[in-house]
Each structure stands twice: as structure tokens, then as C-alpha cells.
Amino acid sequence: MDDLQAEKILILDFGSQYTQLIARRIREIGVFSEIRAWDISAEELREYNPRGVILSGGPESVTEGATAPRAPDALFDVGVPLLGICYGMQTMATQLGGQVSTSDVREFGYAQVTVEGESELLCDIADHIGPNGEKSLDVWMSHGDKVVSMPQGFEHTLSTASCPIAGMADEARRYYGIQFHPEVTHTAQGEKIFEHFVRQICCCEARWTSAAIIEDQIARVRSQVGDSHVLLGLSGGVDSSVVAALLHRAIGDQLTCVFVDNGLLRKNEGNMVMDMFAQNMGVRVIRVNAQKQFLDQLRGVDDPEKKRKIIGNTFIDVFDAESNKIDNVRFLAQGTIYPDVIESAASKTGKAHVIKSHHNVGGLPDDMALELVEPLRELFKDEVRKIGVELGLPKDMVYRHPFPGPGLGVRILGDVKEAYADVLREADAIFIEELHASGWYQKTSQAFAVFLPVQSVGVVGDGRRYAWVIALRAVETIDFMTARWAHLPYELLERVSGRIINEIADVSRVTYDISSKPPATIEWE
Ligand code: XMP
């Protein structure tokens, strides 16, 4: 059962915004990889027993001396291959006796690096071959510092005009450094470079596939749960849906899902969840209609953080009450995924800043006295989606945009009222329908309508209409930490606005949000 993770790659995080991407790229090749902070202890490192270690980039400068993050000395004693990327290469160089200095020229963005020598990491790859056979690669650079003198044992493998040592290798120890970022898609040969490192140099087999992950998780869940009963809060989002499908396959009727309709869901969401899971798949789902309870609790509250807390707490109350009606429950399943685990580790160590309290990251309270089952805990979102498809969930459902736990509660600005939610549901459904029809749904990462509780004058037919305003929001993002507003075609916006104003009597005006994150956030509250 442990075989899937027997050969794994450790990524030491020096704070680069791309660290998670490195782990995803390695897993796409079929090898399990995990991220740990750069200050991992020697003991933990040995216990982890990786086949190879990648040192990520980072925002600091090794020239700052004692205050700069550095790899544990034990890393150079464990005898496994190392790949240093950007800062990772620089700290490897200084720790092994080389030198780094701050460059006059910062390289940021596209660059072409010339291949200078033979290296197992870079063998058989080139984006361009010159008249004399000289090879070069198109890569993504982002650095100020550079290695100016290599440690003993290293050969020079890559260069650019402003960075003569853009790559180095010690083939005997199997230590490699590259100044550019192979994890970003702009580096054309990035995947090949990682493949060379994990498959050829670290000798890992490609075992980490969707089918194998599912088999592995089914076996783990069965052995954890035995013949006890498991409860799952099913929201209709991707993560909890994939957990439901996975657990249903693993333990069948020992799973009961509770679906809470809080009155803040999208149009038809409740029926869709019941059709898919209860009718089609035969999963036991209890639907709780708690609209009134939620709306009563929210009445008169207009502060976003208070609304989040109320929605989170009410969810717990409702869920608690339902779970008490079911006998013999010992486990609670949750759709926690790997980025949640990384994020909560970062917030525990004080490395992250809380802008909004995303209530479902914290999970349910400890006093529920249930043990947790978290079969997606080690997976990235794209892996969760692939597993969902493999488990037979419809692609439309698995590739849906994310929907926040508090739902429409944070998309109705200020005081939440049922009538506002009804208007918003209709407007949102029109927007999403048109995005699908025009092919823009897949091109955006998240899109939705927002209800603005201000009234505006319009004229419809011969009459004056004094009604609400709807804002449309659509963004493109990779990690939801930063986002660009989507440049939707004017014709599409025109059609959506026309339909919303014509089909919903209570709306007189539609606006499009052209703020990026930062400084705006994706949700309006
Ligand atoms: P922001 O608005 O912080 O959103 O830029 C980033 C992503 O997080 C989602 N989001 C939430 N998800 N509970 C959630 O489960 C919340 O309270 C919450 N607030 C924002 C948001 O939809 C976007 O995908």
C-alpha cells in the first residue's frame, strides 16, 4: 500500500511563489513529491528518505550571510541527487564553497541560455541549434543574484550574456544547479528537465497515476474505517464531490452524506447534487433545507467577516444536529486538499497573512469527537479533478469554477435577504450560461455575479425602472493568490447585460468589474 510513495522527491521551500508548481510538475511525471520548509531538521530529512531533493527559488539573497535561509548541512550528507533552482542553486553554491554576488543586471522574464557542456540533466534537449551545432534553450528567469564561482567538483553547463554561470553540475555527486525556472510553462523544456532529474538521475518509477492513487486511497480508507460509519458534508463543490465518489466506491453504504441547503447556493444546485449522487450513483445523501435558519441568523448583519462566521457556525449547528440522528458514526470525511495543508502550515508558523477567514479551511470543531478521513489530503486540485473524472463524475462538474463556502452570502454586499439571493441566482445563472455558450467558461478561472444593494434608475419600454445593480466578475488566475480580470469580449458582456436586465425585473443596471488581485480580492467581500 505504501509503494506509491516509496520513491519520492522532497522539495525544500525557500519561499518562491512557484514552489507548489514544482511539486505539481514532478507529480505530473508520475512521481510523488512533497514540500517542506527549508529549515527542516536533519532528523526529519533522514526520516523522510527522499530519492532526490529539489531546492526551490526564493525572494531572499544569499549575500545577506547569516540571516539568509540555507539548506540543512545534513542535505549534503544523505547522498541523494540535488537540483537547485535559482535561489536553490545559489545557496547550494555558497554552502559548498562557491561564491554568489548581486548582479548589476536583473534578469526577469524570457531569456535564452546557451548549453555549454554535457550534463545528464540537460542531455538531448534544445530549443534552437546554431550553425555550428551550439544548442540553446528558451527559459524563464527571475533573479538579481548569480553564482560567480562554482564549488569544487562542478562543471559549467549553461550561460547567458549577463549570467555566465546559469547552470552547473557535479555529475559524480549528482548535484545540479540551474538559474532559471523549469517549473513555469514559459520554460519550454521544463518538463524534460524534471523528467531527467526524477526518472534518470533519481531513478524513480512513474507510479503516481490517477488509477493507482484511487486504488491506494480505497485500500487506506477501508483499513482506517473498518466497518464503522462515515459522515461527509457534501457541498456540491469539486473536493467534497470527489470525496463522496471515492468513499462510495471504497465503503458503499457505510457512507452518509449531509447536504445543507443554506439558501445561498447557486440556481438548481440542490437538485443537481441530489440527482447526481442520490439518484444516479446511489449514494446516501440527506438533504437538509436550512434556508430559514441561515437567513434568520444573518438578518441585519452587514460585516463580511461576521457573515462568514455566522454562516460557518450555523453550518456546524445544522450538521451537528443531523449527525446526531445517525447511529454508529465514528468518522468524519473532509475534502481537505494539499494546498489547504500547506496554507494552514504556513499560517501556523506565521508565514501567511490572513486577509479573509475562509471558514472551511479550518474545518469543523474538535469537540465533534469524530476521527477524520481525508483522502485528498495529499493531492493538488488538478489531481483531484483527474481522479473525479476517473471515478466517473461528469467533466462539467469536476471542472466547475470554485464556489466559496459562504456562497452567495459574500456576493450579496451587506445585509443578506432572500429576495436579493433570488435575484442574484438568476443573474448568475444567465452569466454562467452565456460563458458556456461562448466558450469562455473554460478560459476563465472563476466567474460570477454580485448583488449590489443600491438602486439605480433605468428605462425599460416606456416605463421608468428603479431597481438593483448587478456586477459581473470574471478572472484568470493560476493559484487564486493573484488574478487578472478576464478580458471578455464586449459582445458577450453586451448579451449578458441585455439578458439580465430584460429577464430580471428587479435589475436596472449591470456593470463589469475590471479590478485585478491585488489590490482587489476576487470576491467582493
Ligand atoms: P479572494 O476573494 O480572497 O478569493 O481573492 C480567493 C478564492 O477564495 C474563495 N473564497 C472563499 N472560499 N470560503 C471559501 O471556501 C470563503 O470564505 C471564501 N472567500 C473567498 C474565492 O471564491 C476565490 O476562489
| pLDDT tens figures, 235-279 | 989 999 999 999 999 999 999 999 999 999 999 999 999 999 999
Q: For ligand 1, pick from 403, 480, 516, 524 the residue to mutate: most ligand atoms within 8 Å of CB.
A: 480
* Sequence letter at residue 448: F
Provide the pLDDT for residue 169. 98
Question: Are residues 65 and 235 in contact, defined by beta-carbon separation less than 8 angstroms?
Answer: no
The conformational region for residue 97 under phi > 0 = left, psi -120 to 50 = alpha, else beta, is: left
Return the exposure string of 424-433: e unless at least 16 CB atoms fall within 10 Å of the residue's CB, then b. Answer: bbbbbbbbbe
Atom of ligand 1 at shortest distance to CA of 517?
A: 5
The C-alpha cell that represents 162 in the structure block:
549577463
Question: Does residue 396 register a pLDDT over 80?
Answer: yes
| 459 Cα to the center of ligand 1, angstroms | 35
Q: What is the pLDDT of residues 412-445, one digit of tens each?
A: 999 999 999 999 999 999 999 999 999 999 999 9
CB-neighbour burial class of residue 253 (10 A; exposed 0-12, middle 13-18, buried 19+): exposed
Closest CA to 522 of 444, 442, 433: 444
Helix (H, G, I), strand (E, B) or coil at 454: strand
Question: Are residues 223 and 251 in contact, defined by beta-carbon separation less than 8 angstroms?
Answer: no
Question: Which residue CA neighbors atom 9 of ligand 1 most closely?
Answer: 404
Atom of ligand 1 at shortest distance to CA of 403?
A: 22
Given the residues 181, 196, 248, 359, select the one marked as catalytic.
181
The C-alpha cell that represents 206 in the structure block:
512513474
Higher pLDDT, 103 or 411: 411
Q: For ligand 1, pick from 355, 356, 513, 517 the residue to mutate: most ligand atoms within 8 Å of CB.
A: 356
Atom of ligand 1 at shortest distance to CA of 483?
A: 5
Give the C-alpha separation, 317 to 320, whole Å. 5
| 409 Cα to the center of ligand 1, angstroms | 12
* Sequence letter at residue 177: G
| 235 Cα to the center of ligand 1, angstroms | 15
- Residue 183 catalytic? yes
| 360 Cα to the center of ligand 1, angstroms | 10
Give the C-alpha separation, 431 to 499, whole Å. 9
Atom of ligand 1 at shortest distance to CA of 446?
A: 24
Provide the pLDDT for residue 522. 96
| 358 Cα to the center of ligand 1, angstroms | 6
Question: Does residue 65 register a pLDDT over 90?
Answer: no
Question: Are residues 56 and 88 in contact, defined by beta-carbon separation less than 8 angstroms?
Answer: yes
The angle at the Cα of 419, spanning 416 to 425, to the nearest 5 degrees, equals 90
Q: What is the pLDDT of residues 166-212, one digit of tens each?
A: 999 999 999 999 999 999 888 999 999 999 999 999 999 999 999 99
Number of Cβ within 10 Å of residue 464's Cβ equals 11
Question: Which residue CA neighbors atom 24 of ligand 1 most closely?
Answer: 402
Predicted confidence band at 345 (pLDDT cuts at 50, 70, 90)?
A: confident
Q: Tell me which residues have their CB closer than 6 angstroms to ligand 1.
A: 308, 355-356, 358-360, 402, 404-406, 410, 446, 480, 517, 521-523
Atom of ligand 1 at shortest distance to CA of 525?
A: 2
What residues contact 464, with CB distance under 8 A and at least 6 apart? 457, 458
Please enumerate, as own/partner, the contacts of 363-366 that have beta carbons within 8 Å and a separation of 24 or more: 363/334, 363/336, 364/233, 364/316, 364/319, 364/332, 364/334, 365/316
- Residue 205 catalytic? no
What residues contact 288, with CB distance under 8 A and at least 6 apart? 258, 259, 260, 261, 318, 322
Atom of ligand 1 at shortest distance to CA of 355?
A: 3
Question: Does residue 357 register a pLDDT over 60?
Answer: no
Question: Which residue CA neighbors atom 22 of ligand 1 most closely?
Answer: 404
Number of Cβ within 10 Å of residue 89's Cβ equals 31
Q: For ligand 1, pick from 235, 238, 523 the residue to mutate: most ligand atoms within 8 Å of CB.
A: 523
Provide the pLDDT for residue 363. 52
Provide the pLDDT for residue 347. 62
Predicted confidence band at 339 (pLDDT cuts at 50, 70, 90)?
A: confident
Atom of ligand 1 at shortest distance to CA of 524?
A: 2
What residues contact 58, with CB distance under 8 A and at least 6 apart? 13, 14, 15, 16, 38, 69, 86, 87, 88
Closest CA to 34 of 6, 2, 7, 11: 11
Helix (H, G, I), strand (E, B) or coil at 356: coil
Give the C-alpha separation, 31 to 119, whole Å. 22
Question: Which of 72-81, 104-113, 145-154, 275-284 has the lowest average pLDDT?
Answer: 104-113
What residues contact 457, with CB distance under 8 A and at least 6 apart? 464, 465, 466, 508
Provide the pLDDT for residue 479. 76
| 522 Cα to the center of ligand 1, angstroms | 7
Cis peptide before 519 (omega within 30 of 0): yes
The residue to which cell 454508529 is assigned: 328
Question: Which residue CA neighbors atom 4 of ligand 1 most closely?
Answer: 522
Provide the pLDDT for residue 103. 78
Q: For ligand 1, pick from 262, 481, 522 the residue to mutate: most ligand atoms within 8 Å of CB.
A: 522
Given the residues 7, 183, 378, 426, select the one marked as catalytic.
183
Higher pLDDT, 482 or 384: 384
| Radius of gyration of the CA atoms of the chain, in A | 26
| 404 Cα to the center of ligand 1, angstroms | 5
Give the C-alpha separation, 103 to 133, whole Å. 30
Helix (H, G, I), strand (E, B) or coil at 213: helix
The angle at the Cα of 104, spanning 102 to 110, to the nearest 5 degrees, equals 95
Taking residues 43-68, report their average pLDDT. 94
The C-alpha cell that represents 305 in the structure block:
467577516
Which residues face 35 on adjacent strands?
Answer: 11
* pTM for the whole structure: 0.85
| 276 Cα to the center of ligand 1, angstroms | 25
Question: Which residue CA neighbors atom 8 of ligand 1 most closely?
Answer: 404
* Sequence letter at residue 121: L
Widest pairwise Cα distance in the chain: 84
Given the residues 7, 34, 60, 86, select the one marked as catalytic.
86
Provide the pLDDT for residue 358. 54
Share of the chain above pLDDT 90, in %: 82
Provide the pLDDT for residue 108. 80
| 400 Cα to the center of ligand 1, angstroms | 15
Number of Cβ within 10 Å of residue 509's Cβ equals 19
Average pLDDT, the chain: 92
The conformational region for residue 15 under phi > 0 = left, psi -120 to 50 = alpha, else beta, is: left
Provide the pLDDT for residue 17. 84
Question: Which residue CA neighbors atom 7 of ligand 1 most closely?
Answer: 480
- Residue 229 catalytic? no
Provide the pLDDT for residue 463. 84
Give the C-alpha separation, 333 to 462, whole Å. 56
Question: Which residue CA neighbors atom 17 of ligand 1 most closely?
Answer: 358
| 521 Cα to the center of ligand 1, angstroms | 9
